[in-house]
């Protein structure tokens, strides 16, 4: 193996140090030394060099044990770049602005118009300016903005689809229009894909290369991760599991009459379908998660078994093709079922496929869509500022010239 040049090794060490500081937050010299495996003199020289380049700076002190001296803390210079992330739903748009180190500077929640004739771009820009101002910034101070939306995004055209709940955002090249009118780079991503990003970053998929995320809530969604990268597909439809055709494995008659080709997976396990299944089992519920909660409290195992059979029937197709290391259930219905329901799904799944793929529940709390959008925005900014590449969070970059024009442009 040929040794690298001094400059190459220095750059590698610098990136390793910055990655450690971004991952762990402020560290002492000794802690950084242990994290990146350099000697004490080499780490001291590295910190001096990065401080001179304004990439890192002193960040207070950490108290030592007993009466010993306090140790100097070092941190990445978060002010080198700023990003914004948004969870866009018909009910509320949830904004956050952070510096490149990940420190949250401002948050803002507002209901934006989403009707077909609404000025969605203007309203979005107004809200973004407000949260940027609250963070002490202008729009052009933002390195990039990532939006999470309930729908499929086609990177070739910039169009959203499968999003009838936000009709005002359909029919135009969303990232191009927003980027052009706001003067800041804007990207849009499927909301469940962003939940997968957050789960890879801080959740139960941190140490997993290949996994599938199944979102069970009012509607149904999914994300497929292969080799620590999101599978987006040629048209952005990767992971749209609600369109899979599967048989109804329930043991009771819910009154539904599915096509001969099978039911849409989304029509079997969305909230409305689960409440009908619950009713057939003698449970009156207002939502899918309410039905699951009642079933667990009342020991309605027949209902939980039938629901698990439906979920497993869809997941089995994914396991047969992708053979992932892990299936993670998320969304309100999955949270209501918890580990107990995940275990039942695993049992039914293992009756259908050979791999003994574990089934668990996603662990991220709070607004995982916004959190995943923030992680994605930070990954891009950190690559641009520090040269730190995070393949877990970055999909293939496409230049503006690679995007086909929108039908309305």
DSSP string, 287-314: SHHHHHHHHHHHT-HHHHHHHHHHHHHH
8 against 389, higher pLDDT: 8
pTM (predicted TM-score): 0.88
**Tokens representing residue 236 in the block:** 């952005």
Nearest Cα to Cα of residue 256 among 275, 243, 282: 275
Query: What per-residue confidence (pLDDT) applies to 403?
Result: 39
Q: What is the separation of C-alpha 98 from the centre of its chain, rounded to a whole number of angstroms? A: 16
Residue 270, CA atoms < 13 Å, CB-side half-sphere: 13
CA distance 375 to 372: 5
For residue range 321-338, list pLDDT tens digits in order: 999 999 999 999 999 999
Query: What per-residue confidence (pLDDT) applies to 284?
Result: 96
H or E element that contains 371? helix 368-386
Query: What per-residue confidence (pLDDT) applies to 389?
Result: 78
Indicate the DSSP class of residue 146. E
Residue 229: Cβ within 10 Å count: 17
Contact 47, 16 (CB under 8 A): no
CA distance 151 to 167: 11
Q: Give me the chain's average pLDDT, please.
A: 91
For residue range 235-281, list pLDDT tens digits in order: 888 888 998 999 999 999 999 999 988 899 999 999 999 999 999 99
Query: How does strand 229-230 pair with strand 220-226?
Result: antiparallel
What is the mean pLDDT of the segment spanning 216-237? 91
Query: What per-residue confidence (pLDDT) applies to 406?
Result: 41
H or E element that contains 109? strand 104-110
Q: What is the separation of C-alpha 328 from the centre of its chain, rounded to a whole number of angstroms? A: 13
Nearest Cα to Cα of residue 364 among 205, 180, 231, 251: 205
What percent of the chain has pLDDT above 70? 92
Domains and CATH numbers, the chain: 6-76 (1.10.10.10), 80-194+393-402 (3.30.420.40), 204-361 (3.30.420.40)
Query: What per-residue confidence (pLDDT) applies to 400?
Result: 37
H or E element that contains 74? strand 71-76
Residue 129: Cβ within 10 Å count: 14
Cα three-residue angle 326-327-331, rounded to 5 degrees: 140
Q: How many residues does the chain have?
A: 409
Query: What per-residue confidence (pLDDT) applies to 169?
Result: 96
């Amino acid at each position: 193996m040929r040794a690298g040049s001094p400059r190459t090794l220095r750059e590698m060490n610098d990136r390793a140090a910055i990655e450690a500081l971004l991952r762990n937050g402020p560290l002492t010299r000794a802690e950084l030394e242990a994290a990146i495996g350099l000697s004490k003199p080499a780490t001291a020289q590295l910190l001096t060099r990065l401080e001179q380049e304004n990439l890192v700076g002193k960040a207070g002190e950490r108290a030592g044990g007993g009466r010993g001296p306090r140790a100097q803390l070092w941190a990445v210079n978060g002010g080198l770049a700023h990003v914004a992330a948004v969870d866009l739903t018909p009910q509320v748009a949830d904004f956050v602005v952070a510096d490149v180190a990940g420190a949250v500077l401002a948050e803002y929640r507002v209901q934006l118009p989403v009707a077909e004739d609404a000025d969605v771009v203007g309203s979005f820009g107004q809200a973004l300016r407000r949260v940027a101002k609250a963070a002490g910034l202008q729009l052009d101070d933002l390195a990039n903005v990532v939006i999470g939306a309930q729908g499929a995004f086609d990177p070739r055209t910039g169009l959203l689809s499968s999003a009838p709940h936000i009709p005002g955002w359909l029919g135009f090249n969303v990232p191009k229009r927003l980027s052009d009118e706001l003067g800041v780079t804007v990207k849009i991503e499927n909301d469940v894909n962003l939940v997968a990003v957050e789960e890879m970053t801080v959740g139960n998929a941190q140490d997993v290369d290949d996994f599938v995320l199944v979102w069970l809530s009012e509607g149904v969604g999914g994300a497929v991760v292969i080799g620590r990268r999101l599978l987006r597909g040629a048209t952005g439809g990767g992971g749209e599991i609600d369109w899979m055709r599967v048989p109804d494995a329930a043991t009771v008659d819910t009154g539904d009459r599915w096509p001969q080709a099978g039911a849409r997976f989304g029509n079997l396990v969305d909230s409305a379908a689960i409440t009908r299944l619950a009713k057939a089992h003698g449970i009156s519920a207002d939502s899918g998660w309410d039905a699951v909660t009642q079933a667990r409290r009342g020991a309605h195992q027949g209902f939980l078994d039938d629901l698990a059979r439906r979920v497993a029937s869809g997941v089995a197709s994914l396991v047969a093709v992708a053979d992932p290391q892990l299936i993670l259930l998320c969304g309100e219905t999955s949270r209501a079922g918890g580990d107990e329901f995940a275990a039942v799904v695993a049992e039914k799944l293992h009756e259908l496929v050979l791999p003994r793929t574990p089934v668990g529940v996603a662990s991220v709390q709070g607004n995982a869509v916004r959190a995943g959008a923030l992680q994605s925005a930070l990954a891009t900014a950190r690559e641009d500022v520090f040269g730190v590449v995070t393949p877990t969070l970055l999909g293939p970059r496409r230049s503006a010239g690679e995007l086909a024009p929108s039908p309305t442009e």
